Structure 1
Amino acid sequence: MARGIAAFALLLLLQAASSVTSQTPQAATWWNSMFLWLFLALVAAFAVASVRGRGLTPIAGTLALLVLAGLALWPLAVPQSVPENFGTPWLWSMINVGAAWSAYAFGARKGCLYTLIIGGVFSAVRTTPQGGSGGWLIALEDATFATVLGLIICVAIGILRRAAERADTAADTAIEHYREAASATALSNERLRLDGLLHDSVMTALLTAAHAGSSEERSASSRLAQSALTRLDQQATEASESTPAAVAEIAARIRFTVGSGTAGAIASVTCESPKHLLLPADVVRAVLEATTEAVQNAARHSGANRCDVSITGNRTDGRAKLRVSIKDTGSGFDPGSVSDRRLGIKVSIVGRMEAVGGTAKIITAPRAGTEVRLGWEGVEP
């Protein structure tokens, strides 16, 4: 808005350049110093400030008052014996810009009041010899034209300002809602991560301890409990992983964790992906943990001694896509019969993937094996 007003002022000054040149020698030195040179300097300052976007309001208010005061004092600054072709005061061309400056600095209502006042002042000055001796009818016509145009400008500025304020308010509200949602999402993600940790480590340690009968089982239970305590301590003290990873690296980590030769379930891990396709750190962590849980579930509950993990990554229009399939040929189960208290699928697999904007789908039936499909799509880091 300020840049538009500055351009408007410079254009009208250019249009009035000939009047300024011819009338300046007739005006008193004090008037030229106060209302010409100061006015031109402030117009230039307003133009510069409109580009920088700072310090606009005080300059605009000062300019509006200068136009009004300069026009009112014009008969005192110029002698009555002026040439017949002297014309109207050059400040007349600045009336509408003054209205714009006033509305910008003081608001639309005060800008309209300013326009009415300066219109009355101009109509009075217009009847004087220094104002062109136009007579009351011509003075009224010129003042009415300037006043109506100034009122339109003030109303337009008021409408634009209210629209901008509403847009700013809506943007601030949206940002605040986003912050609240982001905070809630972060809290939910941390809860899901802690729930998954409790299920994967703590619940396993407790169940093992509950069924320990021999000294070897009790020793194994003790080791599991110590491992669970270690993971809980890491959860409380260590920062989350902060670096992205390539899909091939994810496959290598999964292969190391659940692949052939480890103490857990034996899984065959295959990967097909562009060499440098990266995934965000939180997605990497969620996929690793959900895949590990799915393989361990297959070993614990399906009766299968092997499962296949297939990882596929691709890049489309700058967006990364990841698909992971964990499939076993075990006994399968009826998803509808799983108790809500069983958190292995709900939290450790589905919850983890949904927390990072991904998906998890369980395809299974009694005696038909189980397939867990993980998916994620988003902007590549």
Structure 2
Amino acid sequence: MATKPPPIGAVPTGKRSPISRLQIEGLASRLTAVFGIVFGLQTLPVLLSQIGASEPIWAWIVVPALYGSIVVAFIAAMAQRWVVGTNIVVASVYLLVLATWPLTIVAPSDSQLDRYWLYFLVTYATAAATVGFSLPIATCYLFAAPIIYGFIRVTPQGGNASLLESILEVVYSILIGGAVVLIITLLRQAAAAVDVAQSAALDRYTRAVHAHATEIERVQVDSIVHDSVLTTLLSAARAYSPEAKRIAATMASNAIGHLREAALVSPDDGGTVLLSAVSRRISEAASSMSAPFELRTRDLAAQGMPLQAAEAVYSAAVQAMVNSLQHAGQDPRVSRWVTIRGAVPAGIEVEVGDTGAGFSFVDLPAERMGLRVSIVERVTNAGGLVEIDSAVDEGTVIAIRWPRPETPGGLGRHARTSAGTGGLA
């Protein structure tokens, strides 16, 4: 049977993300562009009926410039490229055309006694200014464009409208344009508030992740203390011969190195390492053991894994080999092996086994930390899975896999003894 981590519930599907400031800007620019095309088409009949009263040169310059800028702004809004710049161009061209209008009228026509064609585009120009400019400038534009139109409207070139009629048209344009500016501004502010709330939530999540990473680091240090420091102290206490003292000194040096490395590595480091590099490190560790391990490597994908997970797999594999040397017995007929293979999807599986004494989980002393802390918890915290197959006088096989498979028993081996993670010593 396999040693399995506590069951993990399925991750719930998150709700759709709230609308952000960027989405609001895109929506406002697209709607403004569509309204520009619609208002431009509606204005064409009035434009064609009044264009004969204007200077031909002025008409051939400003009409293509204004309508061309509207079309370009529409294309930019649909593609979400250069949106601000194109809307600034539209608002500026409209204001320029509006200001030069009375200078180009050569023969006022009867159709001008109503409204001039630029009047039908003033709301769209205000919306374009709101999209392109900041709120203070857009507010100034909201009042400037209708007021300029109102002054021109009472002149002969503007149709000789009465003062009351001109004021009504100006107020109407300001009210409609003000509604557009208000709606876009409120949506922007609401989306900005959502962005701030999301940023605050992300900060809280980051702190929670850091706290979790600190706990993982604590487990890692506990594992190092067991794997290196305690083993070194026990070996030093039993070191009577010069050779044993030399080995104890080497182990002490290695233990200090492990602790130094743990102090330098951040638990939430986002780096990655290739699977082949992890395999090479495990192979080098196996070849340096005091007893031979048969190495088998196959089917490793040319992909990477998180640095924290790689370190957990490597350290757990080394501890499994050390456990085999310490507890499998000294019989030369005991065979030991390390198998490193690829796991689906894009993972790694390391199997450390021997044909030695084996053990029973029932009889395992409670003070033994090697399996629980150094192997099982270390790999589980890194998102992996450990399966242990052992029985007395039948050997031990420890399979380490990253990432954790979706279905239990994914390592495909028949196990003889099982132990839960919580009770494993």
Q: TM-score, normalised by structure 1?
A: 0.65
1:53-64 map, 5 Å: 56=84, 64=91
Asked if 1:201 corresponds to 2:231, the answer is: no
Alpha-carbon distance, 1:290 to partner: 0.6
1:37-186 map, 5 Å: 56=84, 64=91, 77=103, 82-86=108-112, 88-104=115-131, 105-107=133-135, 130-132=157-159, 150-166=177-193, 168-169=195-196, 172-173=199-200, 176=203, 180=207
Q: Which amino acid aligns with 1:245?
A: L
Equivalent of 2:305 in 243, 268, 280: 280
Alpha-carbon distance, 1:204 to partner: 1.9
Q: Percent of aligned positions with the same letter in both sequences?
A: 24
Query: 1:280-330 deviations in whole A, cap 9, x for unaligned?
Result: 263444323211212322443465864665555343xxx324444445652
Q: Aligned pair in 2 of structure 1 residues 217, 173: CA closer, same or farther (>3 Å)?
A: same
Equivalent of 1:245 in 262, 265, 275: 275
Residue 375 of structure 1 aligns to a residue in which SS?
Answer: strand
Query: How far, CA to CA, are the matches of 1:347 and 1:227 in structure 2?
Result: 19
Q: Which amino acid aligns with 1:274?
A: D
Q: Which amino acid aligns with 2:117?
A: W
Asked if 1:331 corresponds to 2:363, the answer is: no
Query: How far, CA to CA, are the matches of 1:246 and 1:376 in structure 2?
Result: 14
Query: How far, CA to CA, are the matches of 1:91 and 1:330 in structure 2?
Result: 92
Query: How far, CA to CA, are the matches of 1:96 and 1:195 in structure 2?
Result: 69
Equivalent of 1:313 in 338, 342, 347: 342
Match of 2:23 in 1: none
Match of 1:359 in 2: 385
8 Å CA contact 1:311–1:325 kept in 2: the answer is yes
Q: Aligned pair in 2 of structure 1 residues 281, 149: CA closer, same or farther (>3 Å)?
A: closer
Structure whose residues are more often helix by fraction = 1
Give structure 1 stretches of 5+ with no counterpart.
none
Query: 1:59-96 deviations in whole A, cap 9, x for unaligned?
Result: 8578658757975886x547696111335222112212
Q: Which amino acid aligns with 2:342?
A: G
Q: Aligned pair in 2 of structure 1 residues 262, 61: CA closer, same or farther (>3 Å)?
A: closer
Greater CA drift, 150-159 or 140-149? 140-149
8 Å CA contact 2:301–2:346 kept in 1: the answer is no
Alpha-carbon distance, 1:358 to partner: 1.7
Query: 1:38-57 deviations in whole A, cap 9, x for unaligned?
Result: 96797689679867856937
Q: Which amino acid aligns with 1:348?
A: S
Match of 2:416 in 1: none
1:291-306 map, 5 Å: 291-301=317-327, 306=334
Match of 2:10 in 1: none
Alpha-carbon distance, 1:353 to partner: 1.9
Residue 342 of structure 2 aligns to a residue in which SS?
Answer: strand
Query: How far, CA to CA, are the matches of 1:63 and 1:256 in structure 2?
Result: 68
Query: 1:190-237 deviations in whole A, cap 9, x for unaligned?
Result: 665555444323322222112334444333322322343455566678
Q: Aligned pair in 2 of structure 1 residues 216, 124: CA closer, same or farther (>3 Å)?
A: closer
Alpha-carbon distance, 1:129 to partner: 5.8
Q: Aligned pair in 2 of structure 1 residues 236, 65: CA closer, same or farther (>3 Å)?
A: closer
Q: Which amino acid aligns with 2:366?
A: V
Query: How far, CA to CA, are the matches of 2:238 and 2:94 in structure 1?
Result: 93
Alpha-carbon distance, 1:164 to partner: 3.8
Query: How far, CA to CA, are the matches of 1:255 and 1:72 in structure 2?
Result: 81
Give structure 2 stretches of 5+ with no counterpart.
1-25, 405-425
Match of 2:251 in 1: 224
CA RMSD across the alignment = 5.5
Query: How far, CA to CA, are the matches of 1:377 and 1:236 in structure 2?
Result: 25
8 Å CA contact 2:273–2:310 kept in 1: the answer is no
Query: How far, CA to CA, are the matches of 1:373 and 1:326 in structure 2?
Result: 6
Query: How far, CA to CA, are the matches of 2:258 and 2:294 in structure 1?
Result: 26
Asked if 1:263 corresponds to 2:266, the answer is: no
Alpha-carbon distance, 1:142 to partner: 6.9
Alpha-carbon distance, 1:376 to partner: 1.4
